[in-house]
Chain A
Amino acid sequence: MKLELNDISNIPLQQQIYSKIKAKILSGELISDFQLPSIRTFAIDNRISVITVQKAYEILEIDGLIYSKRSKGFFVKSLDESVRNTIASENLIREVNPILKKAIAEGLTSSEISKIINEIIKDFGEDL
């Protein structure tokens, strides 16, 4: 599995890997019980140190997105719709937060912001 990692970003590589794999799991690109590459293979494929991958898998496991089987490796956990929804909502809130703060600082009112967001969603049309 090769990921697009940004090695000059301030975001630590383990966090970048965590977010990318999490996104793949939420979007369904990685289906439940899919076996992730071994820590070592993943490190070699992405030319990063083993310790970085270890940490990324560790936090994915703590967050309940993957599980490990002794001496077999790491697998994607099956998420029920409500859990998936909660995680997606949390993601949205976290990412939208600074954007909204900025918009308010730039003088938009909450009703103006809501209007813009609704229009964007309307534009997605039948995709939703």
Chain B
Amino acid sequence: MKLNLKLVGVRKKYKDFYLGPISLELEKGKVLALIGQNGAGKTTTLDCISGVSYRDEGTIEVCGYDANPNEKKWKNCFGYVSAEPVAINTMTGTNFLKYISKYYDKCNYQLMDNLIKKLEFPINETIYKLSTGNKTKLEIISAMSFCPTLLLLDEPTNALDPIVRDAFLEIIFDFMKDENNSIIWSTHIVSEVAKIADDFAFICNGVITEVSSKIELTENWRKILIKQTDYLENIPEVVELQDDDGRIELISRDYNATMSFLKESKIDIVDEYYMSLENICLKNLQFFKSEFEEEDYV
């Protein structure tokens, strides 16, 4: 079994929102960043994987087990840090962790203590009195302490202060030292996943529009500066054009395709630059968004 997660044709209707069909695979040892706008379907996807809501169609397997409330093994395979932290609760952190431990086969108490220390979590405070940041910490502790192989993170750092966020990133790197583990990490903040993520999935209007490795993205996307030409409209794979006093700045999503056209057409190339992953992700989201808008228009 090389996969920690497999989704095939997953669909879910939630109020006016349609998710899917989503098909996605995540190998052991890999971190997948899920990038999309608010309302694109990131949380609904994670909710379906974790069983917070049940899919209408399709199959979901976590570590080979069907994502199904009756399948106890499935529940033991993953931990979920949701964007909406734990509901109002009159228990203390200690009692909450004791309570939920009944639902899992294994608990790594050493890791649990470690997380409580590293995240500076006030374990004896009643949950409803906790700040949002502290509720997130409790989510992290409960998601990671029961020996999951897959972590589902939904904008986990939103409410964390910079020091705790840094501690959290360390914790995540430690988790990934085990080659069997995987993470699916939904976020708006590309910079925080830029180092750890292997692959990037882009989600727009309820569907996954692209899954690419970080290497593909950083090598394929390029800014190219050329001299003015009549063939601007024909240059392939260009997502943005900017006229800068007779020099044209292109943003290409396929460097090789764009370059071979430029060379064949004998267009003067002045310079070329790599782009930051952050910028690449932004341009890619804008690109897919405009594609969807064109479709609607037609």
Please measure, in the bound complex, the distance between the C-alpha atom of A48 and the C-alpha atom of B156, giving whole angstroms: 19
Return A127 CB to nearest CB of chain B, in Å.
33
Question: Is B263 part of the contact surface with A, judged by Cβ < 8 Å?
Answer: no
In the complex, are the beta carbons of A12 and B173 less than 8 A apart? Answer: no
Please measure, in the bound complex, the distance between the C-alpha atom of A51 and the C-alpha atom of B191, giving whole angstroms: 17
Please measure, in the bound complex, the distance between the C-alpha atom of A55 and the C-alpha atom of B31, giving whole angstroms: 16
Please measure, in the bound complex, the distance between the C-alpha atom of A13 and the C-alpha atom of B276, giving whole angstroms: 10
Interface segment out of the listed B68-76, B91-99, B195-203, B226-234: B195-203
Which of B177, B196, B275 sits near A49, CB closer than 8 Å?
A: B196
Question: Is A50 part of the contact surface with B, judged by Cβ < 8 Å?
Answer: yes
- Give the number of chain A interface residues (Cβ < 8 Å): 18
In the complex, are the beta carbons of B275 and A13 less than 8 A apart? Answer: no
Return A75 CB to nearest CB of chain B, in Å.
23
Best-buried of A13, A15, A47, A49 by chain B (most CB within 10 Å):
A49
In the complex, are the beta carbons of A40 and B215 less than 8 A apart? Answer: no
Q: Residues of B contacting A35 with CB < 8 Å?
A: none
In the complex, are the beta carbons of A49 and B195 less than 8 A apart? Answer: yes
Q: Residues of A contacting B274 with CB < 8 Å?
A: 10-12, 15
In the complex, are the beta carbons of B215 and A52 less than 8 A apart? Answer: yes
In the complex, are the beta carbons of A8 and B276 less than 8 A apart? Answer: yes
In the complex, are the beta carbons of B191 and A55 less than 8 A apart? Answer: no
In the complex, are the beta carbons of A12 and B219 less than 8 A apart? Answer: yes
Question: Is B214 part of the contact surface with A, judged by Cβ < 8 Å?
Answer: yes
In the complex, are the beta carbons of B276 and A10 less than 8 A apart? Answer: yes
Return B54 CB to nearest CB of chain A, in Å.
32
Q: Residues of A contacting B196 with CB < 8 Å?
A: 47-49
Question: Is A86 part of the contact surface with B, judged by Cβ < 8 Å?
Answer: no
Question: Is A114 part of the contact surface with B, judged by Cβ < 8 Å?
Answer: no
Q: Which residue of A is nearest B223, CB measured? A: A10
Return B69 CB to nearest CB of chain A, in Å.
33
In the complex, are the beta carbons of B173 and A47 less than 8 A apart? Answer: yes
Binary interface profile of A, 1-42, with partner B (CB < 8 Å = 1, else 0)? 000000111111111000000000000000000000000100
Best-buried of B179, B199, B277 by chain A (most CB within 10 Å):
B277
Q: Residues of A contacting B276 with CB < 8 Å?
A: 8-10
Question: Is A44 part of the contact surface with B, judged by Cβ < 8 Å?
Answer: yes
Which of A7, A9, A10, A51 sits near B215, CB closer than 8 Å?
A: A51
Q: Which residue of B is nearest A11, CB measured? A: B274
Q: Which residue of A is nearest B215, CB measured? A: A55
In the complex, are the beta carbons of A40 and B197 less than 8 A apart? Answer: no
Return B293 CB to nearest CB of chain A, in Å.
28
Q: Residues of A contacting B213 with CB < 8 Å?
A: 51
Return B247 CB to nearest CB of chain A, in Å.
14
Q: Residues of B contacting A51 with CB < 8 Å?
A: 198-199, 213-215
Question: Is B273 part of the contact surface with A, judged by Cβ < 8 Å?
Answer: yes
18 contacts between A and B (CB under 8 A): A7-B191, A7-B194, A8-B276, A10-B273, A10-B274, A10-B276, A11-B274, A12-B218, A12-B219, A14-B215, A14-B218, A15-B274, A47-B173, A48-B196, A49-B197, A49-B198, A52-B215, A55-B215
Give residues in B with beta carbon < 8 Å to A.
29, 31, 173, 177, 179, 191, 194-199, 213-215, 218-219, 273-277, 279
Give residues in A with beta carbon < 8 Å to B.
7-15, 40, 44, 47-52, 55
Q: What 5 A-B pairs come out closest when comparing CB atoms? A: A12-B218, A51-B198, A49-B198, A10-B274, A55-B215
